[in-house]
Amino acid sequence: MASSPITGKTPVPKSASTGLTTEEARSRLLKSGPNAMPDTALHPFRRALTQFWTPVPWMLEAAIVLEVVLGKYFEAGIIAGLLMFNAGLGFFQEGRAQATLAALKARLALNAAVKRDSTWKTIPATELVVGDVVKLSLGAVVAADVHVTDGSVLLDQSMLTGESVPIEAGAGFDAYAGALVRRGEAVAEVKATGASTKFGRTAELVRTARVVSSQQKAVLHVVRNLALFNGCIVILLVGYAHALLKMPVTEIIPLVLTAILASIPVALPATFTLASAIGAKALAKLNVLPTRLSAVDEAASIDVLCVDKTGTLTRNELTVTAVHTMSGFDEGHVLGLAALASSDGGQDPVDAAIRTATAEKAVSDLPKLIKFVPFDPGTKMSEATASEHSGAAVHVVKGAFAVVSGLTHSAPEATQAANELEAKGFRVLAVAAGPFAALKMAGIIALSYPPRSDSAALITELHTLGVRAIMVTGDAPATAEIVAHAVGLRGKICPPGPIPANVRPEEFAVFAGILPDGKYNLVKAFQKTGHTVGMCGDGANDGPALRQAQMGIAVSTATDVAKSAAGIVLTKPGLGGIVASVKEGRITFQRVLTYTLNSVTKKIVQVLFLAAGLLMTGHAILTPMLMVIIMLTGDLLGMSLTTDNVQPSPLPNRWQIGKLTIAGVFMGVSELVFCVAVLAFAKFRLGLGIETLRTLAFVAIVFGNQATTYTNRARQRIWASRPSGWLMGSSLLDLLIASTLATCGIAMAPLSIAIVTETLAAATVFAFIVDFVKVPVYHRLNIS
């Protein structure tokens, strides 16, 4: 890990042997200010309100005001309730950023052992200052970024890096806040505290990392297009009613209110959320837990997936990969001797891997252990004294090859074997045994994280789905190349160093030697080139990248910080959950696409029908109350599309709002022809009065919406796939409500059952006619 930068404002600390005086520490704390991490995030409810109000500028608020002015408090309450419902959903989602910061803070040490006035004492970690001398003891959490000056400890930094192997830290090593001391004791000098630590900077990046979701952009663009189109129609309506029809203000206000209600897709954000929630429920059954609903939608669009190596492509445990034996020893004896010099039941993953391998190749004539000396970072080896069956003493050492070979007369063959194994990226240990003064090289053991058995097949499946998988790892290029080849990743390896600003995912298959902040920069670089990025990580330092990515994925072994920053948490190792997320995301996308197309169709036809009705009758053909009923029943039907049976696309999805709007206008105009034809027949042939015509207009809109709902749900013919049970049930309920209200004269003038039935039959015929015309139009627009 790279050491944290130190600000130049702090005076040069005193010698680590004496520590600071209390007065010096107090002075530095006053100068630097509190060293707790900042908490300046915008209140989530406030941000939720802001985000929801942005795509729906002023029209709904205006509708509420007009309803209140007209004394229509019930209708005003319904519209206000819909607004608050969507804002509440945003509030829930925004709380995720606060949860990430809370998880980061909870992992910091509460207290620290510090040397003040030449005396060791325990103080709150927030009172530490740069230059303090602290003690790192067994079981303690490192309270600040420090530089080890004396002693040796085994540091578990998995909560920072996600790597399972603890690191030996001796004099000269830089350790970071949040690491856990697994073994030993050391003295260190504080180099950074609070928000200046790597941990604090990670928290700040998590707080500021943000990318606008494609879903939010889609809502904004759809509402913008509808507002522009329908806004112009409303202005023309008002102008025509006032200038030509000389309509009084008492009639113009309801007309304007009806037009506003007809123009805005109030349930659009709520339906997006509902579709995502249904997708999330399906994913939960596949061992995938979405923590941000927007990640379900984004899964449909990702075309680049940055994958961590350890724990995702590989198993998250060290194993013995190869054993190279020397003359006079076999594989079982080399492993058995190494096991004698390994801790039993400790937390060292290397010793655990050796003992596991030994159990699989047990031999019966091993020496009997007498004494074990644990691994010493200073000597870089562990030792054991054992007794042969003959009673002769034997000394066993296990450690770094360079150290062990220096204690023996190793042959060139051993050096060559060790170099070859290290060149392949394996962790290499040497084992020697014999009399204390005449040790003999027994063999060489290579350890690694083996690829998961299903990784290659899942990488191939992702490629088939149009998602390019890229390995991102902090390991050396040689190690990364071996794993990449084993799992089927083909392409060049990006050399270690800063991420190029204009890097493209197709240039490299592997990014090796990535620094802690590199993943965050890599995600941003890919996003700048127009890609939708998925990021898979497990450590606290992955938090910013997971938060920045459109689809952040925390693996099953990830830290709490990574899980809270991610949008999706896998509960089983491997890529299986990612593939499932992509497939389910594309199903969700198709459902939302159908609803959006349906919503555009409805809003276009409703406003244009108001204009056509005004021209034909000289009156507003729909009242605000009728429009509220149409909204409620229509949204019930529209939301049921989130459960519909759809065919996911084989490649990543993209929102094409322009083409979607054109398709919606085409379908809206088609439905307008149907509605105008029904209204014209009733007025000029049946001679119905204005109140009855309003009821018929209500019925025509509801039945016409039913027809276009079924033609919009299938990109091919209307019978290409069976509607879901919820859709058919909602459709029947919608028809029943509209027919009952119309025939019974509830909230409108009564209409005969015969006319309602004939209108329904006409809508059915209309559905098949427009279905015949739509296929070439959809094909030309590439709506799929």
Please report how many Cα atoms fall inside a 13 Å half-sphere around the Cα of residue 54, on the Cβ side.
13
Q: In the prediction, which pLDDT does 97 show?
A: 41
pLDDT at 3 over 50: no
Q: Does 308 qualify as catalytic in the annotation?
A: yes
Look-up of token digits 């060139």: 412
What would the pLDDT profile of 288-302 be if each residue is shown by its tens digit? 988 877 888 889 999
pLDDT (mean) for 379-404 = 90
The whole-angstrom separation of Cα 325 and Cα 322 is 10
Average pLDDT over residues 650-675: 90
Residue 123 near residue 20, CB atoms below 8 Å: no
Neighbours of 680 (CB within 10 A): 12
For position 79, what pLDDT does the model report? Answer: 64
Which is higher by pLDDT, 151 or 59?
151
pLDDT at site 114: 92
**Between helices 73-106 and 59-69, what is the axis angle to 10°?**
140
Return the pLDDT at 102. 52
- Its pTM stands at 0.75
Nearest to 574 by CA among 396, 468, 454: 454
Q: Which pLDDT tens digit goes with each residue over 98-115? A: 454 455 445 444 788 899
> How far is the first Cα of the chain from the last one, in angstroms, to the nearest whole number?
47
Helix (H, G, I), strand (E, B) or coil at 732: helix
Contact (CB, 8 A) for 105 and 203: yes
Which tokens sit at 155?
Answer: 């540091």
pLDDT digits 0-9 by tens, 441-479: 999 999 988 888 888 999 999 999 999 999 988 777 888
pLDDT at 699 over 90: yes
Sequence letter at residue 120: W
pLDDT above 90 (res 709): yes
Answer whether 679's CB lies under 8 Å from 697's CB. Answer: yes
Which residue among 297, 303, 308, 475 is the active-site one?
A: 308
Angle at 733 between CA 731 and CA 737, to 5 degrees: 120
Average pLDDT, the chain: 82
Per-residue pLDDT, averaged over 434-446, amounts to: 91
pLDDT at 316 over 80: no
C-alpha closest to that of 610 among 681, 707, 693, 666: 693
Distance CA 86, CA 125 (A): 41
pLDDT value at 751 more than 90: yes
**CA dihedral for 661, 662, 667, 672, sign (positive or negative):** positive
Q: Are residues 510 and 491 in contact, defined by beta-carbon separation less than 8 angstroms?
A: yes
Please, which pLDDT band fits residue 14 given cuts at 50, 70 and 90?
Answer: very low
- Inter-CA distances, 551 with 282, 676, 716, Å: 17, 46, 30
Token pair for residue 553? Answer: 């994925």
Least confident piece of the model among 65-74, 221-230, 669-678: 65-74
For 1-30, what is the mean pLDDT? 48
Distance, CA of 298 to CA of 17 (rounded, Å): 55
Q: What does the pLDDT look like over 174-220, one tens digit per residue? A: 888 888 888 788 999 999 987 788 777 777 677 666 676 676 677 77
pLDDT, position 257: 79
